[in-house]
Amino acid sequence: MRISHLIFLSFTLILLLFTVTTYINYRQSEKVRENTEYMTMSTNMMRSANRVQRNIVHMVSGLRGFLLTGENYFLQAYDSASIENAALIKEIALILPDTSNQEALLVEIDSLNNQWINEFTGPLRDAKLNAEKSVKNEAYYDRLYKEKMYVSDESQINLVLNRKIREFISLEYESREKRQQLLSASIQETKAISFSLTILSIIAGFSVVSFLAYRISRRIAIMVRMADAIASGNFEVQTEEQGTDELSGLARSLNHMASMLSGSFNELKRKNRELDQFAHIVSHDMKTPLRGIGNVVTWIEEDHNEELTPKVEEYLGLIKGRVERGEHLIQGLLSYSRIGKEQQQLEAVNIKEIVDEVLENYNLETNMKVQLSPKLPVIYTHKVPLFHVLSNLITNAIKYNNKEQPVISVYHKEFQNHYEFFVKDNGPGISKNYHEKIFVIFQTLHAKEQVESTGVGLAIVKKILDSRNETISVESVPGVGSVFSFTWKKSVSNE
């Protein structure tokens, strides 16, 4: 599976989990809101029910007061309580949910209330109100009073009415209690579910991320190692990769690159080896005929000296000169092709000693001035190639010098992992056009007769430094002098 798909899928999964959690919590909040509404409603209803009950008491006492004293304000108390109760019961009926089992009870309360008013309190009130108007009316009232108060079951109805109202209230309490319990349970449940879902999504997210991180970073680490290996010249590296994702594609490209590089590199090595071998064989085979020519000329000079005219002698001299130069060239070519073939041992190499050894051949013959930096280092390295490099540079600095007093300086700079050495002269200098050319084999800037020069020295220096991944550069002002500088590692891995 492609990594982008995997990331997309895992994020979708996590998002899904969070959506579910949010939805559940939303549902719970709805429930709580509904419950709050219900509680408000229930409280109102109970307040009303309580008032109904209280009003009944007011009605009883109001009516009694009126019946006993005939005072109007007792009548007002009764009337207002009676009107309010009718309104209250209607109101309760309105807010009572249709599904409630209290509805029957309310209907019962309503009819009991009506019955109480219509059959007892209402007629008594009216009779008392009319009693003062005539004696007949008063007689009717007295009869009615006795009938209602002592014979009928007024007090019984009143009692039942009161009981029903209490029942209604306590039922409401119970149902409220039940709902409260259900709500708490559902809150608990919601808490548990959202907690587990949150934990689940955290775990899922964490595992997906760590899986991806491990999978990606491990493979990237492998590929980085591979790229490092390639960069350090080891092309024989491959990484196992069967997947189909982007990183597998990258790994396969790396594998392909490594094998292509390896192929090209081996081809290059083979070609270089062939070239070296070719140079070696050719120069070797050319030595014999050259020496033969030289020998014959010598024999002519030795055995037939008297027969030679001065012109012939001069020509023979020219032949010998050319033979000698040919031999030098061949020797140079052989040295050049041999670089890197000798087995080398690591040893402590004192740069000062090398410089002294090179200078030994020159010290006596001129008024040359040599300046060495006071603390030339001692390096644990291969001596022969370093000697070749320094010796060629110093020799060149002296050989091509055209000043009255040649001044040669050798100094160095130290860096963390390598040294840089400088060989400075006050010779003729080299024009910038030739700075590249001087390192190519058999290139020399001087006529061959002028200075004994084969054009191999700097080529050898360059080849040695190249083969060790060191660098060389030259700074020069024509007429003033040149500075050749090269780097040399402080420690060599012995391969």
Partner 1 sequence: MNKIIRILLVEDDQLDAMDIRRSLDKLNILYKMIVAKNGEEALEVLNGNHEEHFDELPDMVLIDINMPRMNGIELLNTIRNTEEWKELKCFIITTSDEKVDKERANELGVSGYIIKPFKVNSSSLDSFNLMIDLMNMKAGSL
Contacts of residue 144, defined as CB under 8 A and 6 or more positions apart, other chains included, come to 123, 124, 127
Q: How far is the CB of 291 from partner 1 (least distance, A)?
A: 6
d(CA 185, CA 478): 99
Select the span of 105-113, 138-146, 195-203, 279-287 touching partner 1 (CB under 8 A).
279-287
From candidates 27, 47, 284, 375, binder to partner 1 by CB under 8 A: 284
Question: Which is nearest to 320 in space by CA: 295, 303, 285, 302?
Answer: 295
**Residue 159 structure tokens:** 């009692």
Q: Quote the tokens at residue 376.
A: 């030339």
Tokens 């390096």 map to which residue? 379
* Contact criterion met (CB below 8 Å) for 93 and 105: no
Distance in Å, CB of 304 to partner 1, minimum: 14
CA distance 38 to 356: 109
Q: How far apart are CA 6 and CA 211, in angstroms?
A: 10
Backbone angles phi, psi at 407, to 5 degrees: -120, 120
CB of 287 vs partner 1, minimal distance in Å: 5
Which among 224-232, 295-303, 389-397, 476-484 is the span making contact with partner 1, rule CB under 8 A? Answer: 295-303
Nearest distance from C-beta of residue 283 to partner 1, angstroms: 10
Q: Taking the complex as a whole, how short is the minimal distance between the CB of residue 296 and partner 1, in angstroms?
A: 7
Report the first-to-last Cα separation within the chain, whole angstroms: 43
Q: Which is nearer to partner 1, 205 or 294 (CB)?
A: 294
**Residue 292 engages partner 1 in binding (rule: CB under 8 A):** yes
Smallest separation (angstroms) from partner 1 to the CB of 299: 7
Instruction: Please tell me whether residue 412 binds partner 1 under the rule CB under 8 A.
Output: no
Residues 440-469 that bind partner 1 (CB under 8 A): none
Kindly indicate which of the ranges 111-119, 292-300, 416-424, 427-435 contains the residues binding partner 1, using the contact rule CB under 8 A: 292-300
Looking up tokens 């020799």, which residue turns up?
Answer: 395
Q: Which is nearer to partner 1, 33 or 273 (CB)?
A: 273
CB of 241: closest distance to partner 1 in angstroms? 44
Nearer to partner 1, 62 or 385 (CB): 385
The DSSP element (H or E) to which 408 belongs, if any, is strand 407-414
Kindly report the backbone phi and psi dihedral angles of residue 381, in degrees, each rounded to the nearest multiple of 5, phi listed first. -155, -170
What's the chain's length in residues? 495
Closest distance between partner 1 and the C-beta of residue 324, in Å?
Answer: 12
Give me 260's structure tokens.
């292509």
Residue list 62-101, contact with partner 1 (CB under 8 A): none
Which CB sits closer to partner 1, 31 or 383?
A: 383
Residue 446 φ/ψ, nearest 5 degrees = -120, 150
Candidate segments 180-188, 254-262, 288-296, 469-477, binder of partner 1 by CB under 8 A = 288-296
Give the binding range for partner 1 (CB under 8 A) out of 61-69, 286-294, 383-391, 482-490. Answer: 286-294
**Token pair in block for residue 274:** 């062939």
Q: What is the Cα–Cα distance from 294 to 147, expressed in whole angstroms?
A: 173
Q: Which residue lies nearer to partner 1 by CB, 97 or 292?
A: 292
- Tell the smallest beta-carbon distance from residue 295 to partner 1 (Å): 5
Looking at the Cβ atoms of 287 and 388, the one nearer to partner 1 is 287
Closer residue to partner 1 in complex, CB, 41/296: 296
> Exposed, middle or buried by CB within 10 Å (0-12, 13-18, 19+), for 461?
buried
Let me know: does 366 contact 428? Beta carbons within 8 Å.
no
Q: Is 291 in the site for partner 1 (CB under 8 A)?
A: yes
Residue 383 binds to partner 1 (criterion: CB under 8 A): no
Shortest distance, CB of residue 323 to partner 1, whole angstroms? 11
What are 15's two structure tokens?
Answer: 């998002």
List the one residue from 64, 176, 287, 328 that touches partner 1 (CB under 8 A): 287
CB nearer to partner 1: give 218 or 341. 341
341 or 446, CB closer to partner 1?
341
Closer of 302 and 306 to partner 1 (Cβ): 302
Residues of span 299-318 touching partner 1 by CB under 8 A: 299
> How many binding residues for partner 1 (CB under 8 A)?
11
| CB 285 to partner 1: min, Å | 8
Q: Which of 203, 221, 275, 296 binds partner 1 (CB under 8 A)?
A: 296
Q: Does 403 bind partner 1 (CB under 8 A)?
A: no
Burial pattern 296-329, b for ≥16 Cβ within 10 A else e, equals ebeebeeeeeeeeeeeeeeebeeeeeebebbbeb
Q: Are 25 and 197 in contact (CB under 8 A)?
A: no
From the CB of 271, what's the least distance to partner 1, in Å? 22
What is the footprint of partner 1 within residues 330-349 (CB under 8 A)? Answer: 342
CA triple 341-346-348, angle to 5 deg:
135
Instruction: Give whichever of 179 and 291 is closer to partner 1, judged by the CB atom.
Output: 291
Radius of gyration of the chain from its Cα atoms, rounded to whole angstroms: 60
**Phi and psi at residue 371, to the nearest 5°:** -120, 125
User: Phi-psi category of 479—alpha, beta or left, where left has phi over 0 and alpha has psi -120 to 50?
Assistant: left
Q: Which residues bind partner 1 (CB under 8 A)?
A: 284-285, 287-288, 291-292, 294-296, 299, 342
